[in-house]
Structure formats: structure tokens, C-alpha cells
Structure 1
Amino acid sequence: MLRIALVLALLGLCLALAHGGHAHFGVFPGWYSQAQAERGRVLALQQCAACHGPKLEGRYGPPLSGPRFLARWGGRSAEELGRYIATRMPLGRAGTLQEAQVLDLLAFILQANGYPAGMKDLEAGSLKQVQFLKP
């Protein structure tokens, strides 16, 4: 039992270091699946990367990952961000993304900010429960 706890603690530390100290391992359940985050990554490369960068680090548009993103969205829900994406993005084509695409993008944003994947896809009904942590 102690060995399992030690392995989980080390995994959490590795995740935190890999994500610049912003991993949230153990804080939240896995809200999204790895497959959903991958769909979101592919969509982000097609629709978002020109402004937000291929890793959501920010370019012409603000970052969607890291400390600057969390400074802006920390304490807010994924529902708020999802509504923003659905109604205002992509730039010049606002409102063209389907609900499933917005959910996939949110999954990728969660992944890019160190939130762990779970077993099932992020669903619209759970977005209010998903809160971005303040830095």
C-alpha cells in the first residue's frame, strides 16, 4: 500500500514538473478522456493554432495554457470558457463550432493545463463543476 502511494506521489510530482509546476494530479477527477483531448488537439491545430499557438502557448491571441491563461481564467468554470469559445471563436467565424467540437477543445485545454485524463469524455452537463485553479 505504501509502495502504491509513493508511486502515485512521484507520478504527481513528475506531472507537475512536466507542466511547469501547474499539474493538478489528484485535485480533480479525470473530466475528459485522452481520445477527446486528442480530437481537441487536432481541431486546435486546424482552427486555433494560428492565433493561440500549436501548444496553446499564445501567439497573436492569448495563451490557453500556462500561468497567463490561469491568471485570467483561474476560479472560473469550463462552462464559462466553453460559452466564450462557442459564441466568439474562431475569430472571423464565430459560432461555427459544434457543441462536440467545443467540448473537445475544452478537453485539450484541460490537458494542456495539467489536468489528468479520465475514462470518459467531457460532457456539457459537467462543465459547471470543472473549475480552473488560480495560479
Structure 2
Amino acid sequence: MAFVHIDGRMEKIDSFCASTLPKPVMSNGPRLKLEFHGLLASRYSRGFKATFSFTENFGIRTGTQLPDYPCAFVFNSNESRSGYFYSPNYPGFYPRDTECYYFFHGNQGEKVHLHFNYFDVEGVLP
């Protein structure tokens, strides 16, 4: 099970079981707790192997991260006329309790055109 720190307590964000490879996991801040429970002994269960990294850019490798926001990226047409961007930790679940901004700055006469290749986010009520 994976836990992150939200409002002063550790909250579960995901559970992993069986042989299905889980999507990447990202914390919402500097702490992440991973808890392993081996309940049954089996000669067929081999455990797990994972990699980890500490990042300051939410795993986003395009655009320029803005220092005035916890999660914000700017895309400038003077630097690149086209490209891609994605949510934090994509293709894994994005971090809980995280709000990101994406700013697109074009030159006079230019328009910004977005084409989504994949889209799966929760809604905001109402």
C-alpha cells in the first residue's frame, strides 16, 4: 500500500496486489510511505522490484517550471512552436491534493491549439 501526507496524516493512495505491474506512483510532497505485507508464503510469489527518484518538477519534462506556484509550467512559442505536455506522474495516477497550471504564451497573431491524446481526470463538484 502507498500512503501520502495530507492535512497532517498519512492517507492511502493506492494498493498493489497480484502480478499486474502497477502504474507509477508520485507523492504530493516530500513524503511517501510504502507498506509491504507478505501474508501468505508461496513458492510462486517472488515479491517486487522498483525504482525511485526524487524530483522537483512533478516528473514533467517539457515546458519551464514556474517558481511562484507549487505546480506550474509555461510553454513559450519563441522556444518551441509545438510539443507535448501531460499531468504529473503520467501515465500513473496524478498526485492527490495537487493543483497544476499550464500557461501557453504565443506571439502576436498566433493562437494556441490543444489536442488531447488521452484524458481521464476527476471532476470538480458541482
Query: Given the two structures, how large is their TM-score scaled by the length of structure 1?
Result: 0.28
More helix per residue: 1
Asked which structure has the greater CA Rg, the reply is: 2
More strand per residue: 2
Query: Given the two structures, how large is their TM-score scaled by the length of structure 2?
Result: 0.29
